[in-house]
Amino acid sequence: MALLTISSPHTHNNNSTTKVMLTVALATLPGLFVLTGFFGWGTLINIALASVTALAFEAATLKLRQRPVSFYLKDGSALLTALLLGLALPPFTPYWVTIVAVGFAIVFAKQLYGGLGQNPFNPAMAGYALVLVSFPVQLTTTWALSTQMSGQEVLSFAETASAIFTGLPVADAYSGATPLDVYKNLISSGTTDSAANQNTFNGWLNGGWEWANLAFLAGGLFLLYKRIITWHIPVSMLIALSLCSLIIGWDQDLYTPLSLHLLSGATMLGAFYIATDPASASTTPRGKIIYGAGVGVLLYVIRTWGTYPDAVAFAVLLMNFAAPLIDSWTQPRTYGHKKAKRGLPKAN
């Protein structure tokens, strides 16, 4: 009588792609709490909207591609993309901008390339970059201010929701540019003295954005501990960013200081959750270091000399281009080989 024949191994550590996605989502929670605590309900509403949109787009495209819808929906990757976009977008982003970003991320950046794991670009950042270049006003003036920054109470849930879903601009007292943007404008017109006088930079760890970055850092350390990510990309990225800032931008009257680079903007979110997206990043140990360092350098360059205040999306997307090349040139040395192989196979 025939027995069941299957290929070895016959055992598994019970990890799953869904668990990986959910763990990453879990690790963003501290950051999400801090953002909500300091800047109001906007981010939560964005995430809810993005999640619903992402699932709808994912299901629709899977259906069109004649793939099993529920099997792929439960991998959790669409939700994670939505979550990261929701965290990255300004709290008062008009609803239609979020929908466009999510739609582009899911349909174009992910499903049209073949779905989960086949995307050469980080879907969330592709969506973010699209709306950033297409709707710069909506993406730069809709950042919420914390109480510490504006001296006002943050907007209530109803007010925030109404701002997002009507798309009407929020009063200047509640919204504005990001600290990176503000600082850059200040040093182009004045000196750090005037910067320090601004509410935004009033005191150490006071604006809310430092706490958000520290919370994302904590979540990132959790991911490292859970071995969902390795240290290579975040560490090399943060070191590269710091080195650029220390070597080039040591003069605080001319350049944004290191503390602001590390603890404002999307630095920590980018380092631990976005640049580490495995499908679009480099995957060899040495490759990850090069990749992370590349993201760090580009991040500094675009922040300092570019027209956009933050640059995580562009830096990551640019390095996504380079990832396959980096991978083929950074193969590890295999056991029993004198040295690692490099590049493409030699034609015979």
Partner 1 sequence: MNLTLHRFHGGIHPAQNKEQSTHQPIKSIPLPSQLILPVRQHSGTPAKPIVSVGDSVLKGQVIAEAVGHRSVPIHAPSSGVVSAIEDRTTSHPSGLPELCIIIDTDGLEQWCEHPNLFNKTDCQSLSDLPNEEILEHIQNSGIAGLGGAGFPTALKLYKTKHHTHTLIINGAECEPYITADDMLMRERADHVIQGAQILLHLSEAKRCLIAVEDNKPEAIRALHESLQVLKVNPAIQIVSIPTVYPSGGEKQLIKILTGEEVPTDGIPADIGVICQNVGTAAAVYRAVYFGEPLISRITTATGDAIKQPGNYEVLIGTPLPHFLEHTGYIAQQPERIIAGGSLMGFTLPELNVPLIKTSNCILAPTTSELPLNDLAMECIRCGQCVSACPQGLLPHQLYWFSKAQDHEKAEQHNIFDCIECGACSFVCPSHIPLVQYYRHTKGEIRTERLAQQKSEIARQRYENRNERLARIEAERAAAREARAKAKAEADALREKQEAEAAATASPDSQIEDLERKILAQQDRVTKAQKSHQAAQEANLDTADILFKAVEKQQTKLQQLEQELIALRNNVTQEN
List residues binding partner 1 (CB under 8 A): 1-13, 15-17, 19-20, 71, 75, 77, 115-118, 227-228, 230, 278-279, 281, 283-285, 327, 331-337, 341, 344-346
Q: How many CA atoms lie within 13 A of 195 on its CB side?
A: 21
Distance CA 161, CA 102 (A): 18
Q: Quick one: 216 or 291, whose CB is closer to partner 1? A: 291
| Least distance to partner 1, CB of residue 82, Å | 17
Q: Are 292 and 234 in contact (CB under 8 A)?
A: yes
Other beta carbons within 10 angstroms of residue 192's beta carbon come to: 17
Q: Quick one: 203 or 343, whose CB is closer to partner 1? A: 343
Amino acid at position 155, single letter = L
Distance CA 237, CA 290 (A): 9
Q: Quick one: 6 or 247, whose CB is closer to partner 1? A: 6
Residues forming beta bridges with residue 176, ordered by sequence position: 143
| Least distance to partner 1, CB of residue 327, Å | 7
Q: Quick one: 12 or 66, whose CB is closer to partner 1? A: 12
- Check residue 339 and report its DSSP letter: S
| Least distance to partner 1, CB of residue 71, Å | 7
Between 17-27 and 77-88, two packed helices, what is the crossing angle to 10 degrees? Answer: 20
| Least distance to partner 1, CB of residue 148, Å | 39
Q: Quick one: 188 or 346, whose CB is closer to partner 1? A: 346
End-to-end CA distance of the chain: 48
Q: Quick one: 6 or 137, whose CB is closer to partner 1? A: 6
| Least distance to partner 1, CB of residue 17, Å | 5
Distance CA 94, CA 16 (A): 35
Q: Quick one: 190 or 333, whose CB is closer to partner 1? A: 333
| Least distance to partner 1, CB of residue 289, Å | 13
| Least distance to partner 1, CB of residue 117, Å | 4
Q: State how far the alpha carbon of 65 is from the alpha carbons of 57, 251, 279, 316, in Å.
A: 12, 54, 20, 28
Collapsing DSSP to helix, strand or coil, 336 comes out as: coil
Whether the link from the prior residue into 309 is cis, omega within 30° of 0, is no
Q: Quick one: 29 or 340, whose CB is closer to partner 1? A: 340
- CA dihedral (204, 206, 212, 216) positive or negative: positive
| Least distance to partner 1, CB of residue 121, Å | 13
| Least distance to partner 1, CB of residue 98, Å | 25
Q: Quick one: 76 or 90, whose CB is closer to partner 1? A: 76
Collapsing DSSP to helix, strand or coil, 55 comes out as: helix
- Check residue 12 and report its DSSP letter: -
Closest of 6, 24, 13, 12 to residue 274, by C-alpha: 24
